[in-house]
Amino acid sequence: VTATTFLGKINGAGPEITRSLRLEDNLLIGEDVCRASGEKAVHFHFAPGLSVEPSKGGLRVSANRPICELRAETGLWGVTDTFYSPTYGEIMDAKAAALRSTNDELRWSIEFGGK
């Protein structure tokens, strides 16, 4: 682990899951490893008011202008409507994305300052 890398691990009930993150200039590179059988998913939640749309094999996040692009080496992206609650009793519409795959390793990236 350095100033630009992170490694996390959970090994409670069930298979061990690890996540590594690396920062490179305007790019966040992630790898999630889970050896459980079947489909796995990595979820990303976005603030209310952001648009999340398919783009070049990934997703583009924008609000009046592009903010970032999410991409992955494997798996399929999906976007769903969800909500955000900033305080008790208040609900705001938001978007969530999921990267789904049956692979044990999911490699993804977020490039900031979208085109």
C-alpha span between 97 and 23 (Å, rounded): 21
Query: Across the chain, where does the E strand assignment appear?
Result: 5-10, 17-24, 27-34, 40-45, 51-55, 58-62, 66-72, 76-87, 90-101, 105-112
Q: Is the pTM here over 0.85, yes or no?
A: yes
Is the pLDDT assigned to residue 115 strictly greater than 60?
no
Q: Mean pLDDT in the chain? A: 94
Is the pLDDT assigned to residue 56 strictly greater than 90?
no
C-alpha span between 43 and 107 (Å, rounded): 13
Q: What number is the average pLDDT over the span 42-48?
A: 96
Q: Are 40 and 67 in contact, with CB atoms under 8 Å apart? A: no
Please enumerate in sequence order all residues whose Cβ is within 8 A of that of 105, keeping only pairs 6 or more positions apart, or say none. Answer: 31, 32, 33, 74
Confidence (pLDDT) at 114: 58
